Amino acid sequence: MAADMNTGKFPHSNMPAPKGDLVMPLFSLKGRTAIVSGAGAGIGLAIAQALAEAGANIAIWYNSNKKALDEAAAIEERYGVKCKAYQVNINAYESVKASVDEIVSDFNGRLDVFVANSGIAWEEGPFVDGSLETMHNVLKVNIEGTCYCAKAAALHWRRQAAERTTLDGGPLENYLSGSFICTASMSGHIANVPNAQAVYNASKAAVIHVCKSFAVEWTGFARANSVSPGYIETEMTGFMSEETKKVNRDRIPMGREGNAVELKGAYLFLASDASSYATGIDILIDGGYCAA
């Protein structure tokens, strides 16, 4: 399915287009299964809500925020879909793969969407003064954790494309390909001022590029894309002082931070068949920061 490693050529017509000419049905995720990591709060929770609103059954992953259990119950009640919360150690491939396999088994034997949203910030200022332990932790979660999720999900998508069945051998209905979506950052495109966060910036640049690489490797069974938010009002930016936040606003053409709800449309687009011809792209949603 992938490129011929001798010639670099790709097989023709290896990923189908959706049928029909109406656009709104393409955004439906009814009957599909999605996993969203780092979904106990903030951006991840907003993504899970968006996919559930479109009809997907959702597995939300959390590390230590047990509010995810209540949020899963709230999603089930509000949107009428199946939603369960799973505590997963994103730093261990064995934990990631075991959870993905368990969810596929529990959720109708299929996987359609994986949103790799887990990530941690760098809060120690200039790299020269920062801790190497923190550096290793940021790189491990933001890069290695993302790759662990990609590998575990892609194994299912490759099988589904080859066999066209659910895990238990049933027909795989309403399915074109898998969709892997990473939460990157505008910081993968720029060096933030006044926030000194070289390690975080490097990790998010890596996330953007690895998605492009997955897009090439996975042709025939899955698409891979990323979303790069700018400054969004979440708990993750709580370490910034109000003075720093004001400086940030002065550099944003829209003059304000974004709200997590303003990211929902991009993730739904990439998760759904509306983006069936989109792979290897990164969507910047930053209030114009990178354009200024």
The answer to whether residue 264 is catalytic is no
Are the C-beta atoms of 123 and 96 separated by less than 8 Å? no
Averaged pLDDT score across all residues of the chain: 95
User: According to the model, what pLDDT value does residue 283 have?
Assistant: 98
* Matching residue, tokens 């575990």: 152
Q: Where are the domains of the chain?
A: 24-291
The answer to whether residue 9 is catalytic is no
Q: Which of 99, 185, 228, 272 is catalytic?
A: 185
Q: What is the pLDDT of residues 197-230, one digit of tens each?
A: 999 999 999 999 999 999 999 999 999 999 999 9
Q: Which fold has domain 24-291?
A: Rossmann fold (3.40.50)
User: According to the model, what pLDDT value does residue 10 have?
Assistant: 87
pTM for the predicted model, two decimal places: 0.95
Are the C-beta atoms of 259 and 233 separated by less than 8 Å? yes
The answer to whether residue 200 is catalytic is yes
Tokens for 85? 């919360």
Tokens for 264? 């929902």
Q: Which of 175, 177, 204, 228 is catalytic?
A: 204
Q: Which of 86, 148, 200, 231 is catalytic?
A: 200
